[in-house]
């Protein structure tokens, strides 16, 4: 069985602060994909990143960065110099890469509020 | 532009009534999914379909039904058996191609009980 835990229910920061959203996962699969999605107030989830389980390189995209550590089963997401437009609910998700039905499992989400 | 269209954006259900949520995609994706979102609960899978004329129950299928007669369409019916239907419903699709695993989402339908 797969499980994704986002322990932080809500985070509140002031603009320009750095913020890290935690994601811890459990899986018995040897190969899998990890994802982050952003859900702004409009409701539609937007894909941010996909990481393969065999690729532990960290990734940076502008103000966003992701730290994947297989040893601790974590896939944390950091926003540097946060902005009000970053306010949203962020979901971490896990999906097997082979076998089974390829159904993704989502965490409960972390609501990020960035104050001006 | 390719994408997923959900309608209506807001829907109200009376006691004992069945209602149907529409989901249409023009991405040529084989797999489609329905999720239910409640505050603080994350996304829970209701039904999914990996190919036309086939669908499988997700974690919370009771009180819901679906059909997949066309690749582009995956409507969800919330039946009167679903006693607590108030939630935000999201439809998604995915392709096994280059973007394997990535889900594309619609903008959702908020269902409320009158």
CB atoms within 10 A of CB A84: 10
- pLDDT higher for B2 or A20? A20
Give the residue with greater pLDDT, B42 vs A10: A10
Give the count of beta carbons closer than 10 Å to the beta carbon of residue B55: 20
**Chain B contact for A95 (CB, 8 A cutoff):** yes
Q: What is the largest CA-CA distance in chain A?
A: 46
A38 vs A112: CA distance, rounded Å? 10
Pairing of strands B31-38, B42-51: antiparallel
d(CA B82, CA B60): 10
Residue A54 pLDDT: 86
The whole-number pLDDT of residue A62 equals: 92
Is the pLDDT assigned to residue A63 strictly greater than 60? yes
Backbone angles phi, psi at A87, to 5 degrees: -60, 120
Res. B98: pLDDT tops 70: no
User: A16, exposed or middle or buried, with CB in 10 Å at 0-12, 13-18, 19+?
Assistant: exposed
Chain B CB contacts of A6 under 8 Å are 42
Tell me phi and psi for residue A94, to 5 degrees: -130, 140
**Interior/surface letters B81-111, b for 16+ CB within 10 angstroms, e for the rest:** ebeebebbbbbbbbbeeeeebbbbbbbbbeb
Q: Is the pLDDT of residue B93 over 70?
A: yes
Contact B40 A9 (CB under 8 A): yes
Mutate: best of A44, A50, A89, A100, partner B, most B CBs <10 A: A44
Pick B65 or A101 by higher pLDDT. Answer: B65
Pairing of strands A105-106, A88-96: antiparallel
Report the mean per-residue pLDDT for chain A: 92
Contact state of B104 with A50 under an 8 Å Cβ cutoff:
no
Using alpha carbons only, how large is chain A's radius of gyration in Å?
14
**How many CB contacts within 8 angstroms connect chain A with chain B?**
55
């Amino acid at each position: 069985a797969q499980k994704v835990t986002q322990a932080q229910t809500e985070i509140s920061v002031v603009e320009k602060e750095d913020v890290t959203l935690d994601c811890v996962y459990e899986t018995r699969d040897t190969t899998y994909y990890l994802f982050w999605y952003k859900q702004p107030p409009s409701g539609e989830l937007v894909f941010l990143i996909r990481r393969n389980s065999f690729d532990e390189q960290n990734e940076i995209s502008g103000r966003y960065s992701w730290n994947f550590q297989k040893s601790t089963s974590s896939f944390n997401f950091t926003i540097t110099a946060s902005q009000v437009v970053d306010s949203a609910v962020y979901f971490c998700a896990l999906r097997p890469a082979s076998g089974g039905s390829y159904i993704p499992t989502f965490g409960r989400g972390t609501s990020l509020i960035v104050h001006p | 532009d390719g994408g997923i269209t959900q309608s209506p954006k807001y829907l109200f259900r009376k006691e004992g009534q069945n209602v149907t949520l529409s989901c249409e995609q023009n991405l040529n994706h084989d797999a489609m999914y329905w999720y239910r979102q409640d505050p603080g609960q994350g996304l829970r899978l209701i039904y999914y379909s990996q190919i036309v004329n086939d669908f499988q129950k997700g974690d919370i299928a009771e009180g819901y039904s679906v059909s997949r007669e066309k690749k582009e369409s995956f409507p969800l019916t919330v039946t009167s058996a679903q006693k607590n239907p108030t939630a935000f419903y999201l439809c998604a699709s995915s392709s096994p191609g280059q973007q394997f695993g990535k889900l594309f989402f619609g903008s959702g339908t908020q269902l409320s009980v009158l």
